[in-house]
Amino acid sequence: MLSDPAGALAALDPAARAYLDLLMRCLTREAFLDQEWWDADLRDWPGGRDAVLPLLRERDWRVVRRGDPAARAEGRDWPPTAETMIGTARLANVAECCVAALRDGVPGDLVETGVWRGGTTVLMRGVLAALGDQDRRVWVADSFEGLPVPDERYPADAHLDWSDVEVLKVDADAVRANFDRYGLLDDRVRFLEGWFADTLPGAPIERLAVLRLDGDLYGSTMDALTALEPKVAPGGFVLVDDYGGWPSCREAVEDYRAAQGIDAPIHEVDWTGVWWRKP
Ligand SMILES: C[S@@+](CC[C@H](N)C(=O)[O-])C[C@H]1O[C@@H](n2cnc3c(N)ncnc32)[C@H](O)[C@@H]1O
């Protein structure tokens, strides 16, 4: 009998629950929102500030705010210092799914494809620590140099050249330092450095309990699904960050699910995040 991830955190013992709650509030900086200030410099965007502002407004993206709790909760800003941009609701969903997978005895490791500063994978490692897991690994997959130039094989990405966006480029040593900041860097944290198309197909991952996709583009989503979704164990979770926010990502998910005959129900987390569970 598989448990409902929604109740997974509440069912933890109080110390584990308090640790994960504090870890999440640090990773999002919700605990320090009064100190967060981001005057986003959009001049490095392709097309410049004037081109990108309408796009961000369309998504209700908060650009210049001091400690806007709603934006942070919904993951609608680029935090100046927080180790994750996905916001409280999606981060809690990661914890819930990881805890549920462990509690239900679903075999396999945890992975995120598209980690930015690494905060979501830090939380995954924190869940293993909180539950006393001794074996599983956390895979940290990213180019560590931002988004790729769109791949011509994927027409859905043709107008999405974000490869120059500096804020998305975080090198692997900075991500390692973020794990270390929380005392969670060890040999069970494995880095897959490079473009997904190159690193994921041959990655030495045997089985996955949780696969989280956060690569924005059609190509990045499809490359990760193709290489890793077959490795998700029965009862394991597939989490997709960009399903609601990026039509290109949604298209890749729908194409993949249709091609593989996957009809597991899709559950919404917030305005963009979704998940499903492998039967
Ligand atoms: C939106 S950020 C991820 C946010 C992160 N999950 C968090 O918790 O804040 C997208 C990341 O995906 C990476 N990325 C996108 N497409 C990629 C690809 N094809 N190969 C490798 N990395 C990719 C980028 O480098 C970037 O770090």
Alpha-carbon distance values, 27 to 45, 66, 103 (Å): 26, 17, 23
Radius of gyration for the alpha carbons in the chain, expressed in angstroms and rounded? 18
96: closest CA among 270, 279, 214, 269? 269
Q: Is residue 86 within 8 Å of 120, Cβ to Cβ?
A: yes
Instruction: State the distance from the centre of ligand 1 to the C-alpha of 194, rounded, in angstroms.
Output: 11
Q: Which of 143, 152, 178, 248 to mutate to test the pocket of ligand 1 (most atoms within 8 A of CB)?
A: 143
Instruction: State the distance from the centre of ligand 1 to the C-alpha of 12, rounded, in angstroms.
Output: 30
Does residue 3 carry a pLDDT above 60?
A: yes
Does residue 15 carry a pLDDT above 90?
A: yes
Instruction: State the distance from the centre of ligand 1 to the C-alpha of 163, rounded, in angstroms.
Output: 11
Q: What is the pLDDT of residue 76?
A: 85
Q: Which protein residues are within 6 Å of ligand 1, measured from CB? A: 84-86, 112, 114-116, 119-120, 142-143, 146-148, 168, 195-196, 214-217, 220
Counting residues of the chain whose pLDDT is more than 70, the rounded percentage is 89
Q: What is the pLDDT of residue 56?
A: 66
Going across the sheet that includes 109-113, the strands are 189-193, 138-142, 109-113, 208-213, 232-240, 274-277, 267-268
Q: What is the pLDDT of residue 61?
A: 59
| pLDDT tens, position by position, 155-210 | 999 989 989 888 899 999 999 999 999 999 999 999 999 999 999 999 999 999 99
* pLDDT, greater one: 224 or 36: 224
- Phi-psi category of 275—alpha, beta or left, where left has phi over 0 and alpha has psi -120 to 50? beta
Q: What is the pLDDT of residue 35?
A: 75
When the pLDDT of each residue in the chain is averaged and rounded to a whole number, the result is: 91
Which domains are present in the chain?
Answer: 30-74 (no CATH), 87-277 (3.40.50.150)
Alpha-carbon distance values, 58 to 52, 79, 235, 241, 257 (Å): 10, 19, 37, 18, 28
Q: What value, to the nearest 5°, has the Cα angle with vertex 82 and ends 79 and 88?
A: 85
* pLDDT, greater one: 81 or 238: 238
Instruction: State the distance from the centre of ligand 1 to the C-alpha of 171, rounded, in angstroms.
Output: 11
Q: What is the pLDDT of residue 63?
A: 53
Distance between CA atoms of residues 269 and 244, nearest Å: 10
pLDDT band at 237; cut points 50, 70, 90: very high
Instruction: State the distance from the centre of ligand 1 to the C-alpha of 16, rounded, in angstroms.
Output: 29
- Closest approach atom of ligand 1 to CA 120: 8
Q: What is the pLDDT of residue 172?
A: 98
Instruction: State the distance from the centre of ligand 1 to the C-alpha of 116, rounded, in angstroms.
Output: 5
Instruction: State the distance from the centre of ligand 1 to the C-alpha of 225, rounded, in angstroms.
Output: 14
Distance between CA atoms of residues 5 and 161, nearest Å: 36
Residues 6+ apart with CB under 8 A from 222: 154, 252, 255, 256
Phi then psi for residue 15, to 5 deg, are -70, -45
What DSSP letter does each residue of 14-38 carry, written as one string? Answer: HHHHHHHHHHHHHHS-GGGGGG-EE
Q: Which residues of 203-224 are buried (b: 16+ CB within 10 A; e: fewer)?
A: bebeebbbbbbbbbbbbbbbbb
| pLDDT tens, position by position, 22-71 | 999 999 998 888 777 655 555 555 566 666 666 666 665 555 455 678 88
Across the range 131-157, mean pLDDT stands at 96
pLDDT band at 1; cut points 50, 70, 90: confident
State the SS3 of 246-276: CHHHHHHHHHHHHHHCCCCCCEECCCCCEEE
256: closest CA among 231, 219, 216? 219
Which residue has a Cα nearest atom 9 of ligand 1? 84
* pLDDT, greater one: 82 or 65: 82
* pLDDT, greater one: 229 or 63: 229
What DSSP letter does each residue of 139-160 carry, written as one string? Answer: EEEE-SS-PPPPPTT-GGGTT-
Q: Residue 142 pairs with which residues in a beta bridge?
A: 193
Q: Give the pTM.
A: 0.92
- Closest approach atom of ligand 1 to CA 219: 19
| pLDDT tens, position by position, 98-130 | 999 999 999 999 999 999 999 999 999 999 999
